[in-house]
Amino acid sequence: MQITSKTNIKPIWLILSGVTTIGIAYGIYYWFNKDGQLPSFLAKKTSTNSFCKYSGFPLRFGSCGEEVTVLQKYLNTKIRTPRVQLKEDGKFGNSTRDSLLRIEKISTVSQTKYAQFKIQLSPFNKS
């Protein structure tokens, strides 16, 4: 009399099913995260100005506008090479705040401080 067990699964089938499961899981992960974007049919539609909460001074997280672009240009002149340059998009986000804290040790920019940055950015143009 031969006793057979249901746990006698060939190791090769176990390995192949595990690899296939991991491959499918990675494929789904890659499909949802390629370029950091969700597929267009799953992405939420948001307006382009939903980030901008503040305009004018003081410049702070959530500020947008030409003044923030000038601030980002100033910070880019102070950033040194292994650091990545800021995107000059006019939005005061995490990267701009972190660079400002690291370089100037402040988190908001008053109008007088902004004028100093602007003069340092172009010393021959006093406007």
CATH classification code of 46-127: 1.10.101
* Identity of residue 1: M
Mean pLDDT of 99-122: 88
- Domain edges within the chain: 10-42, 46-127
46/13 Cα distance (integer angstroms): 47
CA 52 → CA 32, 41, 96, distances in Å?
Answer: 27, 25, 14
Q: How many CB atoms lie within 10 A of CB 12?
A: 8
Q: Is 99 left (phi over 0), alpha (psi -120 to 50) or beta?
A: alpha
59/47 Cα distance (integer angstroms): 22
More confident residue, 124 or 1: 124
pLDDT in tens, 39-59: 555 544 444 557 788 878 888
pLDDT in tens, 74-84: 888 888 878 88
